[in-house]
Structure 1
Amino acid sequence: MSQQAIPNKLSEQYIDLASERLGGETLSCSDDFFAEMENLLKAGRGIFIDDKYTERGKWMDGWESRRSYGRDNGRDHDWCIIRLGVPGVIKGFDVDTNFFRGNAPQTVSIEGCHSAQQPGADTQWFSLLADSPVEAHSQNLFEIDNVQCCTHVRLNIFPDGGVARFRVYGEAQVDWQQFLPGELIDLAYVKNGGRSLLVSDMFFSDKNNLIMPGRGKDMGDGWETKRRRDPGPDWNIVKLGHIGSINKVIVDTHHFKGNFPDTFTLEGTMNDSQACIDGSAKWQTIIPRNKLYAHREHVFIDEIADPKAHFTHIRLNIFPDGGVSRLRTFGYRKED
């Protein structure tokens, strides 16, 4: 049986920089005798199958090391090194011990580094979270005060045990030197620093699905609102990764066949995030109201009102409600 993740400020305000869907990966660990380290970054909270065993013992949906019993090699804890899918400034963690009831670690600590290479013996790690107690079968949430950009983290568990899932919440830091001058960039894309800031509703699925990599794998992998009984619209405000123009837009209703929006508009603003949240931001039309269709990529170029205007945030309005798999907003970054 799986369990729903609890809503929390970290998941609402930040993205999971270590997410497998963003390219996060486990690189190495001290020991994963009972359950593989790769499980740490999978979606969901993990499941439990009562009568499932392997030749090594009970099957567990997480990372689990063997009992240490004071090992002869002198190691007093187990560890796992994770490469973040998106480098960024980390603001918190979720160390989820779901279904690890009698085999959770007693405490954890977490370190970070910024390295262009895979971490090795000479890597200089810095502390992100000091040794902290964790509860069994629980989401253990830790908010931290950090300003350093990380590419990798190391999860340390004391003295041993199992963790079902590990989330690393923060803000993406984009190296704009990796883009060519004048390159057309999806400024709303999560790996380019985009982030869904605020939505009218996300009853069926998360607001940030709208700007995730690839096309949605199913209807749950998009942004979908509940049914309205008024003309709408529902809306999703996205903070762009960089100030820039909007020159090409793709609205993808992939998998939404009976619940796609009837029409949409796209608006933009040059403002700070707080103004977008409190409602004081002034919005201007990027794309006027246009028809949408089921299970289709819709491309808009000529419909863009002012391809030279610059924006910090965009707002997708869907009438009256429904689901959109992905939104791509290609434009040119304003030079700093």
Structure 2
Amino acid sequence: MKLKTYFVDLVSERVGGETLACSDDFFAEMENLLKPGRSIFIDHKYTERGKWMDGWESRRSYGRANGREFDWCIIKLGINGVIRGFDIDTNYFRGNAPQTVSVEACVSNEHPNADTVWQIVLAESKVDAHSQNIFEITNPQTWTHVRLNMFPDGGIARFRVYGEADVNWDNFVEGELIDLASIKNGAKALLVSDMFFSDKNNLIMPGRGKDMGDGWETKRRRDPGPDWSIVKLAAQGSVEKVIVDTCHFKGNYPDTFKLEGLCSDSDDFDASNAKLAWQTIIPQTKLHAHREHLFINEITAAKTQHFTHVKLSIYPDGGISRLRVLGKRK
């Protein structure tokens, strides 16, 4: 299973993931674990402590005799949820990767402490140096924090926790408009026609895009298009307010867009999606460069109608920074 295709990274710093504490990060800081992208290597770059590494690297522990049997890092999930898999990436850690790793998890409303009860979700497992080590998980519980352990010491470049959001709907008041297309609320970008320049999930990330790479951008088409993206909403609901943001897209924003929706019990979309009974929510409408577009009166779907999925079509191609679909849960 392709974890990145079907699930979201629950510990990404972009969704609020945070490294809280570690046993040791003498050579390279624990915060590097959650950085976007894979790590880089800069030859001949050193710090006063040793070789600069783009990851989390502890000093040599010399095992149990030195009082540190293994190293650990506690991480707060940015999105509480069910864990489906891990990517423990030792990229460029060739002679200093750990021998094995394990992952524990807990549920806590505060920072974990000495009294926290941790449960094993990944038993101690071998990892390869300079590799993406993928582990699938079948535990159905919801978690708030994880603890990454490496034996006996060493370096890990990046850590991804792929899973599904478990949203506490009690945190919303009755009648509140909810961004049903927000990754933080459990939405998922399921399928796109093209994501040559950037990832499909950028479209539903929190905040405004920081640059042109922080959006969804397709390559240039040589036909009328459109390109499209299908998003599973966080919950079945109405569509009462839509924001389409072309922030940073100045010479490559789409000329027009259309938003459609449907109700489906399945997330199994493929190229045949064009044959589905998509209903128009906003008809084909003009867009402008580097602008946050607000649509309320343009919505043709009744407030009493409910959708589980939306399809954003852009004509003929281009880049959209963010999509917000605000409505009420059914």
Contact 2:61/2:152 (<8 A) preserved:
yes
Pairwise CA distance, 1:45:
1.2
Q: Distance in 1 between matches of 2:277 and 2:139?
A: 32
In 2 relative to 1, CA 155–300 (structure 1 residues): closer, same or farther, beyond 3 Å? same
**Amino acid in structure 2 at the alignment position of 1:227:** R
**Amino acid in structure 1 at the alignment position of 2:288:** Y
One of 42, 66, 69 as aligned partner of 2:35: 42
Contact 1:275/1:281 (<8 A) preserved:
no
Pairwise CA distance, 1:75:
3.1
1:37-186 matches, within 5 Å, as 37-72=30-65, 74-186=67-179
**Amino acid in structure 1 at the alignment position of 2:257:** F
Q: Distance in 1 between matches of 2:158 and 2:17?
A: 13
Q: Distance in 1 between matches of 2:269 and 2:22?
A: 43
1:30 aligned partner: 23
SS in structure 2 at match of 1:21: helix
Indicate the larger mover: 147-156 or 271-280: 271-280
1:198-237 matches, within 5 Å, as 198-237=191-230
Pairwise CA distance, 1:72:
4.0
Tell me the alpha carbon deviations over residues 120-174 of structure 1, each in whole angstroms, 9 at most, x when there is no partner.
Answer: 1111111111111111111111111121111100100011000011001011110
1:250 aligned partner: 243
2:299 aligned partner: 304
Q: Distance in 2 between matches of 1:21 and 1:73?
A: 37
Tell me the alpha carbon deviations over residues 53-104 of structure 1, each in whole angstroms, 9 at most, x when there is no partner.
Answer: 1221111111111111124454311100000000011101111111111000
Contact 1:197/1:239 (<8 A) preserved:
yes
Pairwise CA distance, 1:19:
0.2
Pairwise CA distance, 1:308:
2.4
Residue 324 in structure 1 maps to residue 320 in structure 2 = yes
Q: Distance in 2 between matches of 1:253 and 1:235?
A: 15
Q: Distance in 1 between matches of 2:233 and 2:188?
A: 7
* Overall identity of the aligned pairs, in %: 72
1:285 aligned partner: 280
One of 263, 272, 281 as aligned partner of 2:265: 272
Q: Distance in 1 between matches of 2:201 and 2:4?
A: 10
SS in structure 1 at match of 2:138: coil
Q: Distance in 2 between matches of 1:163 and 1:69?
A: 18
User: Normalising by structure 2, what TM-score?
Assistant: 0.96
User: Normalising by structure 1, what TM-score?
Assistant: 0.95
Structure 2's unaligned 5+ residue stretches are none
2:7 aligned partner: 14
Pairwise CA distance, 1:118:
1.2
Q: Distance in 1 between matches of 2:195 and 2:303?
A: 30
Q: Distance in 2 between matches of 1:53 and 1:156?
A: 26
Q: Distance in 1 between matches of 2:146 and 2:234?
A: 23
**Amino acid in structure 2 at the alignment position of 1:184:** L
Q: Distance in 2 between matches of 1:13 and 1:72?
A: 43
SS in structure 1 at match of 2:210: coil
Pairwise CA distance, 1:228:
1.1
Pairwise CA distance, 1:221:
0.5
Q: Distance in 1 between matches of 2:181 and 2:78?
A: 17
1:313 aligned partner: 309
SS in structure 2 at match of 1:273: coil
**Amino acid in structure 2 at the alignment position of 1:293:** H
Taking only aligned residues, the RMSD between alpha carbons, in angstroms, comes to 1.3
Contact 2:63/2:70 (<8 A) preserved:
no
